[in-house]
Amino acid sequence: MTLLAWGFDGLLLLGLLGLAWKALNSTDLFSAIALFIAFGLLMALVWVRLEAPDIALAEAAIGAGLSGALLLAALARLRGMEGNVTSNTGVEEAPNNIDARLVQWLSAILLLPVLFGLVYGVLSLPGNAVGLSAEINANLAASGVSNPVTAVLLNFRAYDTLLEVFVLLLALIAIWSMGSIQFNRSIETIGKTSLETTSSVLDTLVYLLVPVLMMVAAYLLWVGAHAPGGAFQAGSVLAAACVLLLLAGWPLHRLLTAMRLRLLAVAGPVVFVSMAAYSLIAEGALLQFPPEHAGTLILLLETVAALSIAVTLAALFSGGQGQHE
Amino acid sequence: MSSFSFALAGIGLFVLGLHALIVHAHLLRKILAINIMGSGVSLVLVALARRGGDALPDAVPHAMVITGIVVAVSATALALVLMLKLAAETGSATLPDDSPE
Amino acid sequence: MIAVIDLFSVLLLIAGAVFFLAGTLGLLRFPDVYTRLHALTKADNVGLGLIIAGLALQAESWAVAGKLVLIWLLVLLAGASVSYLVANGALKRGIRPWKS
């Protein structure tokens, strides 16, 4: 049985490295992105093998799904520019000339010391890791949840999550500062150009799938307290539902007007900061929850955070193409 | 020992990504490369936390990697918009070659 | 009784794996996008169905088995719609179906 597991892990890692190599060096950008999505799915399998199902869920939803959608949308816009701009924006010239080959080999040789140094560094580590599992298990009962990863994310190291919610908001503000502010209609043209007459199938898919996605998001949010899941996974599933609606040409911007969108996007950060401020005053420490209320507080925090994450991720997908307007 | 092989694969991903980051001119390819480097780093982080232990996996690196994935997707979205901006301004999705003429 | 269930599980899983292998072969070897989609949906629908059936026999409770079946139904829905969309997109781009 161990031999089978070793063989599986070996194949998985070889496949992972092979896909990364192909994604980075295939000649066509579209197939590079397709390979990158496949790479993300294999990454999710690797996380399962490393007994990290929480990461596997996040990787499959965000790393493979949402990043893939972002990259493909960007490529479509880049190719769309080709019509207006004379020079080739979407096509990459293959490195055929001598100079480019030389650079490739030279940098490969120069990177060998980096590779060996890193390998040496990892292999010279002691065989036993001194982790924090014991401390986590000792304090899990006071955290309000029984899933250790959620306990770390929203109680023990909640300040990480606090900052991360702000990173998301910052990225959104940066993108909006370069483009339009509401859910943009021009994303629909990307979907519509290729899917115009097929709307009945797509509409049926959307009608069936979006409610299921919303239910899955709610389930992930709830189950995160005691099993793999949580705010990020729920938020990204909800964002995927929004992306599906946007691609199907659903008038999402009518439901989420610029003002509602802004309010939802800042709701997570605002609730997080006010809770941090309250805990600083009442408990004397940043984001320290009283054990008897911790479960409820974490669920509240996660719900608002998941909504903000979903809206922000969907807006990241939609926004920022205002340069044509 | 098995967790070391996962860590070595992570290093492999990091170096592959770094190589692509240097040799490819197209910015979309550079963004892919940075994402793959990030996956490599996460893999090393989680794999090394499992060294030698059959005990429960350590939740702190797991939480950090989940945070990292979300930060990576925000950075990717921003980078893609910057790339599109540059392509709209200059007509090319590559960095300008500033070698002295 | 347990041994019989295990045997059925193994048989179903192997049959599912065969479908996946055939589907992958088709994806790699078939000449155009339409035939490749055909190969792919066989693997997705039947192969995954057999594997889900094999795993459901091992499930601890009816709830777990139900979730597994739900996954299969979702993949069926998404796979069928997406392959229709891909094929339709290809047709509209003027890709002619392959003729021997």
Encode pLDDT of A16-64 as tens digits.
Answer: 999 999 999 888 899 999 999 999 999 999 999 998 999 999 999 988 8
Q: Does B17 touch chain A (CB under 8 A)?
A: yes
Q: What is the pLDDT of residue A132?
A: 80
Q: How far is the C-alpha of C10 from the C-alpha of C4, rounded, in Å? A: 10
How many Å separate Cα A256 from the centre of its chain?
Answer: 22
User: pTM for this structure?
Assistant: 0.89
Phi-psi group of B85: left, alpha or beta (phi > 0 → left; psi -120 to 50 → alpha; rest → beta) = alpha
* Closest residue by Cα to residue C90 from C21, C32, C30, C31: C32
Asked if B80 and A70 count as a contact pair (C-beta separation under 8 A), the reply is: yes
Cβ neighbours around A296 below 10 Å, total: 11
A244: Cβ contacts below 8 Å, ≥ 6 apart = A205, A206, A209, A210, A213
| Of A163 and B85, more confident | A163
User: A197, C92: Cβ pair inside 8 Å?
Assistant: yes
Report ipTM (2 d.p.). 0.93
Over residues A3-21, the mean pLDDT reads 92
Q: Does A194 touch chain C (CB under 8 A)?
A: yes
Q: How far is the C-alpha of C42 from the C-alpha of C22, rounded, in Å? A: 9
pLDDT surpassing 90 at residue A147: no
Over residues C19-23, the mean pLDDT reads 90
Q: How far is the C-alpha of A31 from the C-alpha of A44, rounded, in Å? A: 20
Q: How far is the C-alpha of A246 from the C-alpha of A88, rounded, in Å? A: 28
Residue-wise pLDDT for A67-96, tens only, equals: 999 999 888 888 877 655 444 444 555 555
Q: What is the pLDDT of residue A228?
A: 86
pLDDT surpassing 60 at residue A303: yes
* Closest residue by Cα to residue A310 from A68, A61, A75, A74: A61
Q: How confident is the model at residue A183 (pLDDT cuts 50, 70, 90)?
A: very low
Q: What is the pLDDT of residue A256?
A: 75
Asked if residue B76 is part of any domain, the answer here is yes
* Closest residue by Cα to residue A63 from B83, C98, C78, B74: B74
User: A152, B5: Cβ pair inside 8 Å?
Assistant: no
* Closest residue by Cα to residue A63 from B13, B23, C48: B13
Kindly state the tokens that stand for A210: 């979006």
Q: What is the pLDDT of residue A89?
A: 45
Q: What is the mean pLDDT of chain A?
A: 82
Query: Among residues 31-60 of chain B, which lie with CB inside 8 Å of chain A?
Result: 31-33, 35-36, 39, 42-44, 46-53, 55-60
Provide the CATH number for the domain around residue B46: 1.10.287.3510
Q: What is the pLDDT of residue C49?
A: 92
| β-pair partners for A204 | none
Q: How confident is the model at residue A131 (pLDDT cuts 50, 70, 90)?
A: confident
| Of B56 and A50, more confident | A50
User: A197, C88: Cβ pair inside 8 Å?
Assistant: yes
Asked if A43 and A31 count as a contact pair (C-beta separation under 8 A), the reply is: no
Asked if residue B99 is part of any domain, the answer here is no
pLDDT surpassing 50 at residue A305: yes
Judged by average pLDDT, the poorest of A118-127, A184-193, C6-15, C61-70 is A184-193
Residues of chain A neighbouring C77 (CB-CB closer than 8 A):
205, 208-209
| β-pair partners for B26 | B94
Where in chain C are the domains? Answer: 2-92
Q: Does B67 touch chain A (CB under 8 A)?
A: yes
Asked if A39 and B13 count as a contact pair (C-beta separation under 8 A), the reply is: no
Alpha-carbon radius of gyration of chain B: 17
Residue-wise pLDDT for A206-253, tens only, equals: 888 999 999 999 999 999 888 888 888 999 999 999 988 888 877 777
Alpha-carbon radius of gyration of chain C: 17
Asked if residue B26 is part of any domain, the answer here is yes
Q: What is the pLDDT of residue A211?
A: 92
φ and ψ at residue C90, rounded to 5 degrees: -65, -45
Asked if residue B100 is part of any domain, the answer here is no
| Of B58 and B11, more confident | B11
Dump the DSSP string for C64-85. Answer: HHHHHHHHHHHHHHHHHHHHHH
Q: What is the pLDDT of residue A189?
A: 52
Q: How confident is the model at residue C44 (pLDDT cuts 50, 70, 90)?
A: confident
Type of residue numbered B101: E
Kindly state the tokens that stand for A187: 């994303």
Residues of chain A neighbouring C92 (CB-CB closer than 8 A):
194, 197
Asked if residue B46 is part of any domain, the answer here is yes
Q: Which of A202, A204, A212 sits opposite C74 (nearest CB)?
A: A212
CA distances from B93 to A130, A250, A325, B18, B23 (A): 46, 30, 20, 19, 15
Over residues B44-72, the mean pLDDT reads 85
In C66-87, which positions are buried (b, 16+ CB within 10 angstroms) versus exposed (e)?
eebeeebeeeeeebebbbbbbb
* Closest residue by Cα to residue A194 from A144, A249, A238: A249
Q: How far is the C-alpha of A267 from the C-alpha of A263, rounded, in Å? A: 6
Q: What is the mean pLDDT of chain C?
A: 88
Q: How far is the C-alpha of A77 from the C-alpha of A80, rounded, in Å? A: 5
Residue range(s) defining the domain that contains residue B57: 2-90
Residues of chain A neighbouring C83 (CB-CB closer than 8 A):
none
Q: Which residue has the tokens 């199902």?
A: A53
| Of A225 and A118, more confident | A118
| Of A136 and A191, more confident | A136
User: A100, B3: Cβ pair inside 8 Å?
Assistant: no
Phi-psi group of A152: left, alpha or beta (phi > 0 → left; psi -120 to 50 → alpha; rest → beta) = alpha
* Closest residue by Cα to residue A232 from A174, A136, A307: A307
How many domains in chain B? Answer: 1
φ and ψ at residue B94, rounded to 5 degrees: -125, 160
pLDDT surpassing 60 at residue A322: no
| β-pair partners for B94 | B26
